[in-house]
Structure 1
């Protein structure tokens, strides 16, 4: 956008409008060639450049580079191996990479499961030295991450292996990062404004991820999330260099999940797919990076992510209720693991927005809720629950930003959209979500069921505002702070019960 307006002549205003058109088209192009139905002659790029120069010199209207919109998107995802029984190949993978010292990262629950037996036998069979760290915390805190890093640094592994859910995989990513950057301050890479948000400028050690839950998609992404306790919010680190080298997705490994974990992890898949599908388009994101290394991992919806996100949504709607209801429905469990991976590729490049942004203070400010089915002796709001509890309110709010997309999402839930008016798209999707969540059984029906009261809303709002990395992708959210605060307050009020 133009930062100042001192142009009176209509001629100058028309020229500036032309510059904006060229600058913000998707992708940048000549307006004539960008619009097949437009047959009038348009000024050449040299004339536009000359006009821009003259305007800046004569009318004091410099282009505000911080408002330039993006013009490109990148796709990054881990290599994925999917199939029942592929866990046994992991020892060969490390031998093929020439790894000599592997740090195996897990938690105490997974340590006792068959997947860890397979991993240890596989590494031993190939003669790969390894050490096991099983101190990972479910829904990790910055303190548990630092303890894990302190374990890894003196061992100096040349590769990492994460075996567990998203919490384990995210912990392993950060062990890898800070072992490779031993002198870095912990907040150096943490997402701004809570941290410095520095880019990761070098390749890390190889990391193989073996997910044992079907939810986070962390085996595909460059994102690691944790509680920053001092700020009472979740935050994280996001960069392409964090992503695992390989994700080994073995459906046999998710069969040990309790029904409650199937449900809550599946809700994460649901919101990953819905949020990345409805995020602002990548060409609307600002600012355009001055260097490709500064292009964020979360870029906005784009044509490739859309394919993964929509398919993940359709699979989740079809298979999650089955996986929750019947622990012997191995087809549904396998399809949910695949859906989690698909959604990971989708949101790992497009990003998420309000459900996740609001979930971070919901988890960080837990008033004492403890979710059934989780083997932890402490209050816990599982991540999938914290994102889904606001979903009906969120998509009711975002519907007007792109009604067609919201109706396509509603159609994935089985809604007949043939006679639905565009202005009703948000409400229709919200109702479909409420019905779906109710069908999963014992799920919180709003923030009230988690123990939150209306007097908590202001703190929840203030905990959401710093989540700039995801809020910037939220359609319809104001850039003006006071208005944004009021919008978030209304969203939390709407999410109190549904």
Structure 2
């Protein structure tokens, strides 16, 4: 709490808030969902999932446990990877027509984010874009509580089960934006790491780099004391900058990524590694749900906005498609080389948590140490070689910058201020690493 990084600033925030769901972690916990539904007073349950999972064993386990508890359960699976306004509108219509009193989400971040946003639009009807901050939306605050929600992640990356944010693509702008409300936090997160046993290696790698970047962005984000004070405690955002709580979760998540990511990708039978990555993803979600991400996530949305004629092994999604974790990590080494100047101690510590060799290193080396450790992990898990590995080159830098510069909140959460030229230079430096 007395860390110099959180030193008071004039007109800055003087307090921070911690918000997480009730978290249950362990193999076999999906079968407990029915009893948890009963305890929350649900009678008529909506179960959101995606088309690939809808007929699979994880959804069956959850729906069977709900039915065994004597309750009604209806499945909605019209959810796309990288959800958009159409997905949210369909989900909201399903909720209104079904008169549900509770929500279960079973899937990755796309499913959980769609469930959160659909509940907002079903209970407080308005186009989803109106809930985004200006100038993208109308800046409408979510008016009140949503349905009781139990979130059950099936991948080890997004951490959405532990956050109050939803990431949705705005179709006519062809890119993703984030909106948030404390009301969107799930009531419970039921995290069963057995869901990761069958994931392809490339999916484990992509989601693992998402958790890694969540964690390091939280740890290196602008301190909460540097954000302007908000007098009304009910209006204070949970996306509040780095704080002592987010530090605890982020640093443990970084240690997990450094130790277990390569192992989890290499061997599907390494249950210790994959279980640890699942726990690390939730820890990183707890961290960024209470601090926010910064430049790597801001820059990633331009990659998925402008991607063209590309697919990724392990994902049954038609071209063009770059998984979120890959879109984030391809710019991360270049980004941390840039941001290290503003918080060298934090970057040096992050490199150490990730397992970098700090022998003889000083603060001036912090950016290179973080970048090189991430690059090493990328190479050991067969990730793309920067932007060139996902179809971009030097000629795309201006377009990428035009797209990402709209992500104002995430950009402002970085420890170092940046302008258009700075973002262009980061993209340029991220074209290739080896």
Q: 2:53 is paired with a residue of what secondary structure?
A: helix
User: 2:195 aligned with 1:253, yes or no?
Assistant: yes
For residues 488 and 220 of structure 1, the distance between their equivalents in structure 2, rounded to whole angstroms, comes to 30
C-alpha displacement of 1:191? 3.3
User: 2:302 aligned with 1:367, yes or no?
Assistant: no
User: 2:154 aligned with 1:154, yes or no?
Assistant: no
> 1:448 — aligned with what?
388
For residues 465 and 71 of structure 1, the distance between their equivalents in structure 2, rounded to whole angstroms, comes to 29
Q: 1:277 is paired with a residue of what secondary structure?
A: helix
1:51-109 Cα distance to aligned partner (Å, 9 max, x none)? xxxxxxxxxxxxxxxx9322221111111001111111111111122211111000111
User: 2:424 aligned with 1:473, yes or no?
Assistant: no
C-alpha displacement of 1:417? 2.0
Q: 2:152 is paired with a residue of what secondary structure?
A: strand
User: 2:168 aligned with 1:226, yes or no?
Assistant: yes
> 1:166 — aligned with what?
109
Structure with larger Rg:
1
* Shift in CA distance, 26/475, structure 1 to aligned 2, threshold 3 Å: closer
Q: 2:147 is paired with a residue of what secondary structure?
A: coil
C-alpha displacement of 1:377? 2.4
C-alpha displacement of 1:237? 1.4
For residues 171 and 333 of structure 1, the distance between their equivalents in structure 2, rounded to whole angstroms, comes to 25
Structure 1 alignment gaps of length 5 or more: 1-24, 29-66, 479-483
In the alignment, is the contact (CA less than 8 A) between 2:197 and 2:271 conserved in 1?
Answer: yes
User: 2:296 aligned with 1:355, yes or no?
Assistant: yes
TM-score, length of structure 1 as denominator length: 0.84
Match of 1:84 among 17, 27, 30: 27
In the alignment, is the contact (CA less than 8 A) between 1:108 and 1:134 conserved in 2?
Answer: yes
> Which one scores higher on RCO, CA 8 angstroms, separation ≥ 6?
2
Q: 1:219 is paired with a residue of what secondary structure?
A: helix
For residues 415 and 125 of structure 1, the distance between their equivalents in structure 2, rounded to whole angstroms, comes to 49
In the alignment, is the contact (CA less than 8 A) between 1:26 and 1:71 conserved in 2?
Answer: no
1:90-140 Cα distance to aligned partner (Å, 9 max, x none)? 111111222111110001111122111111111111111121001111111
C-alpha displacement of 1:152? 1.8
C-alpha displacement of 1:395? 0.4
> 2:72 — aligned with what?
129
For residues 134 and 167 of structure 2, the distance between their equivalents in structure 1, rounded to whole angstroms, comes to 13
1:302-345 Cα distance to aligned partner (Å, 9 max, x none)? 11110100000000111111110001111111111100011111
In the alignment, is the contact (CA less than 8 A) between 1:263 and 1:320 conserved in 2?
Answer: yes
> 2:266 — aligned with what?
325
Runs of 4+ in structure 1 displaced over 3 angstroms? Answer: 25-28
User: 2:430 aligned with 1:495, yes or no?
Assistant: yes
1:363-398 Cα distance to aligned partner (Å, 9 max, x none)? 111122211110122321100000000010000001
> 2:218 — aligned with what?
276
In the alignment, is the contact (CA less than 8 A) between 1:193 and 1:466 conserved in 2?
Answer: no
Q: 1:415 is paired with a residue of what secondary structure?
A: coil
- Count of residue pairs brought into register by the alignment: 428
C-alpha displacement of 1:186? 2.2
C-alpha displacement of 1:405? 1.1
For residues 467 and 371 of structure 1, the distance between their equivalents in structure 2, rounded to whole angstroms, comes to 25
TM-score, length of structure 2 as denominator length: 0.96
Stretch moving more, 143-152 or 129-138? 143-152
C-alpha displacement of 1:432? 1.4
User: 2:49 aligned with 1:106, yes or no?
Assistant: yes
For residues 206 and 218 of structure 1, the distance between their equivalents in structure 2, rounded to whole angstroms, comes to 16
For residues 455 and 378 of structure 1, the distance between their equivalents in structure 2, rounded to whole angstroms, comes to 21
Stretch moving more, 113-122 or 306-315? 113-122
Please give the root-mean-square deviation of Cα atoms over the aligned residues, in Å. Answer: 1.5
For residues 345 and 266 of structure 1, the distance between their equivalents in structure 2, rounded to whole angstroms, comes to 15
Match of 1:175 among 110, 118, 126: 118
> 1:3 — aligned with what?
none
For residues 99 and 398 of structure 2, the distance between their equivalents in structure 1, rounded to whole angstroms, comes to 45
Structure 2 alignment gaps of length 5 or more: 1-5
For residues 473 and 243 of structure 1, the distance between their equivalents in structure 2, rounded to whole angstroms, comes to 21
> 2:343 — aligned with what?
402
> 1:437 — aligned with what?
378
For residues 191 and 92 of structure 1, the distance between their equivalents in structure 2, rounded to whole angstroms, comes to 38
For residues 418 and 193 of structure 1, the distance between their equivalents in structure 2, rounded to whole angstroms, comes to 47
In the alignment, is the contact (CA less than 8 A) between 1:199 and 1:293 conserved in 2?
Answer: no
User: How do 1:2-17 and structure 2 match up within 5 A?
Assistant: none
> 1:457 — aligned with what?
397
For residues 87 and 305 of structure 2, the distance between their equivalents in structure 1, rounded to whole angstroms, comes to 15
In the alignment, is the contact (CA less than 8 A) between 1:156 and 1:179 conserved in 2?
Answer: no
Q: 1:188 is paired with a residue of what secondary structure?
A: helix
In the alignment, is the contact (CA less than 8 A) between 2:241 and 2:292 conserved in 1?
Answer: yes
1:271-297 Cα distance to aligned partner (Å, 9 max, x none)? 000100000110011x32232232222
